[in-house]
Structure 1
Amino acid sequence: NRLRQSDIEQIKFRIDGISNVTPLVYPRFNAGIRNGENSTAAQVIATTSYFQLARQSFPRYGRFITDSDDATGRRVAVLGEQARVDLKLPDNPVGQFIQVGREWFKVVGLMEARGEMFGQSQDNYLVIPYQTGLSLSGLAAQPDISILLTVDDIESLNGVTNRINALLRRLHKINNDQPDDFKVESSQSLAQTVSRISSTITVVVAAVVGISLIVGGVGIMNIMLVSVTERTREIGIAKALGAPRQFILMQFLIEAMVLAVIGGMIGVAIGYLLGFAAASAIPNFPPPAVPWWAVVGACGFSALIGILFGILPASKAANLAPIDALRHE
């Protein structure tokens, strides 16, 4: 089942503590959105005048869709900033005409820019009157409707959500043992979902980084063990000339630390270059920004890894007996 126009009316009149109830449909037009040779992949939103209040987003230039526009099915549009840029319209595009599908629409407003979220533009959309969108896209008979609304008191959010859920189940005649054929989401639940996803990504990245550090540390340890073996005679000569155990120990620890720091710096450089490449290749991808403290921290942590995994080969070198070391070929 789908949400119906009657569901909107029932929610308006039966649920207390809500306002700015507005339907949304997302019509698709095969011919796309064009301004001469320029086009955009902006999402078309067919809605009512309450959309700007529910979304708390208002025009920078011109006006928003009005009830009169909706009632008369006018061919008017309000653009998001990214859609304006893609269509190469002037800074104030009010009064310009664009093609939506095969129909000409007059631009009556430009919305305030909202920037990006998670690397995606929040301004890549175009708003047209609700009834206009239904009639032009052939959705009037069976529109796939979403409903946007605001809760008057944030403390009552859970209660309102539960009441809407119960009302829609009753209207759709869903039995107690049957699942919902709709979904009720709040900005709070979306924020929690984003938080869970972010936490999962953080754990996965931390695990990958941890494994990488262990693998890198083991690699440094193996290199240093090979170095100790190849330089056994050199160590024996140094000890025979009076070099103390601590000197040999520090020498190999410093070598391991330097090796790890160089690896860390190479890693930072590769990460920056990959970020720059991604920003160049992916639209709206944020450019790389590596603060100085992150570079210092990476080098410091690399040095610590080098010291930890350099202890074994350094101890092996420091504990070599001079006579045995000098006999080594």
Structure 2
Amino acid sequence: MTDVLLTLEAAFNSIRAHTLRSLLTVLGIVIGVASVIAVVSIFQGMSASISEQFAGLGANNLSVRAETSFEDQLQGRRSRIAISDYQRLHDSVQHLAELSPTFDVLGDHGGNVSAGRVEAFTRVIASSPSYQHSRQVYPRIGRFITEADNDSRRRVCVLGETLRENLNLPANPLGQYIRIGSEWFKVVGIMEERGEVFGFSQDDFVLMPFATGLALVSDPAQVDLRIDLQARDRSNLEFLRDRVEQVLRQSRRLAASAPDDFKVETADQLGDSLKTLINLVTTVFAGVVGISLVVGGIGIMNIMLVSVTERTREIGICKALGASSRSILLQFLGEAVLLSALGGLIGVAIGYAGGLLASSLIPGLPAAVVPWWTALLSVAFSGLVGVIFGLIPAAKAARLDPIEALRYE
């Protein structure tokens, strides 16, 4: 133990004696670790944000959407959840607390709405009164659409906070009218703010009654629905999922051997799918920027070889005074490892600061999160780089002949 402490002390003194050169030596390590930490912190922040968003959807929710195979996409075909599918689910599936159909009235990408002379591009959604319960979002002021609105196909709507601001409407615009397509709609409510995810606002939308939306589209048969279902009891969730899949296959007349052209997912599965994608992207990015750690290791090996050459006479004197080859090797190896580890620690601090800066400067980017294992792994990997690339210079120093080393000029 004493030998190890003396070795580390000697390595630290050597690094301190050449402070500027040591900092330049570990610059590659610092940049590599900082890049990895910054990337991981940003993407892990996104993953944490996703978990938070989907946690609000409830553990007993199911989501149904169409899914088009890659082959069908190449042939220009598109799967849709039709009105008949929704009606079959409504009539055939039991144990439901909520059943909420939703579709985009002006297409997947949205359309223009206006208030007076102010115009804005936004999502135009049609849904049922149960939308607010299945999505766990409620009006901040005013009311949500009702069954009476839907039955009468009333031209009423509720707005997201971002759209209210974009249309320059007052803080309380209840009773005012906006234009959607060629129709005028009365504003009856403003929804709670939900913030942004990945820079996209969740509050930039207008929502109208489902039947009203169907009356506005040119061909209701071409409508592609998304359906949210809520089980009365979480224990019935798997049974409910199987039943939904069975009913949809019957409704869509799929052969026994044909794959599903729809997707039934729980809120947890939706969140897990997105988190899996983010973790994959994180790994790829971290691997790419981690290459700079290897470059940094090569820089350490190069400087350590120079250091061995500069200190040849010193090594000769140490060996002449009785120092073993093992102690010489440990001293130079310890110096390389200490350099790498210090670079890793500095890189962790800079990377975390960079992640915080990015999340504060880029609108909608969630707060950076650095798991403890990431920081620990980065510093450990930095130390490993020091061992790998410091071994050759250390071995060269240990093999020096003391007589030849003393003669070196």
TM-score, with normalisation over the residues of structure 1? 0.79
Distance 1:86 1:219, change over 3 A: farther
Match for residue 191 of structure 1?
271
User: Tell me, which stretches of 5 or more residues in structure 1 are unaligned?
Assistant: none
- My pick for the range that moved more, 52-61 or 20-29, is 20-29
Aligned length: 326
Distance 1:185 1:294, change over 3 A: closer
Match for residue 308 of structure 2?
228
The 5 A counterparts of 1:1-329 are 2-28=80-106, 32-35=112-115, 40-117=120-197, 120-201=200-281, 203-204=283-284, 207-208=287-288, 212-236=292-316, 242=321, 244=323, 246=327, 249-250=330-331, 253-254=334-335, 257-258=338-339, 261-262=342-343, 265=346, 268-269=349-350, 272-273=353-354, 276-277=357-358, 280-281=361-362, 283-288=363-368, 297=376, 300-301=379-380, 304-305=383-384, 307-309=386-388, 310-329=390-409
C-alpha distance in 2 between matches for 1:269 and 1:130: 51
C-alpha distance in 2 between matches for 1:37 and 1:152: 46
C-alpha distance in 1 between matches for 2:292 and 2:322: 36
C-alpha distance in 2 between matches for 1:275 and 1:139: 48
Deviation at residue 153 of structure 1 after TM alignment: 1.6
What secondary structure is seen at the aligned counterpart in 2 of 1:32? strand
Deviation at residue 28 of structure 1 after TM alignment: 1.9
C-alpha distance in 2 between matches for 1:290 and 1:251: 32
What secondary structure is seen at the aligned counterpart in 2 of 1:44? strand
Amino acid at match of 2:387: L
Note if contact 1:79-1:125 (Cα within 8 Å) is conserved in structure 2: yes
Deviation at residue 107 of structure 1 after TM alignment: 2.2
Distance 1:230 1:117, change over 3 A: same
C-alpha distance in 2 between matches for 1:263 and 1:192: 31
Note if contact 2:359-2:365 (Cα within 8 Å) is conserved in structure 1: yes
- My pick for the range that moved more, 206-215 or 102-111, is 206-215
What secondary structure is seen at the aligned counterpart in 2 of 1:109? strand
C-alpha distance in 2 between matches for 1:192 and 1:251: 47
Deviations 1:130-169 (A, max 9, x none): 2332333434353222222211122222211221221222
Note if contact 1:249-1:317 (Cα within 8 Å) is conserved in structure 2: no
Note if contact 1:256-1:307 (Cα within 8 Å) is conserved in structure 2: yes
What secondary structure is seen at the aligned counterpart in 1 of 2:137? coil
C-alpha distance in 1 between matches for 2:220 and 2:302: 71
Deviation at residue 46 of structure 1 after TM alignment: 0.6
Match for residue 64 of structure 2?
none
Note if contact 2:315-2:328 (Cα within 8 Å) is conserved in structure 1: no
User: Tell me, which stretches of 5 or more residues in structure 2 are unaligned?
Assistant: 1-78
Distance 1:31 1:255, change over 3 A: closer
Amino acid at match of 1:109: G
Percent of aligned pairs sharing the same letter: 40
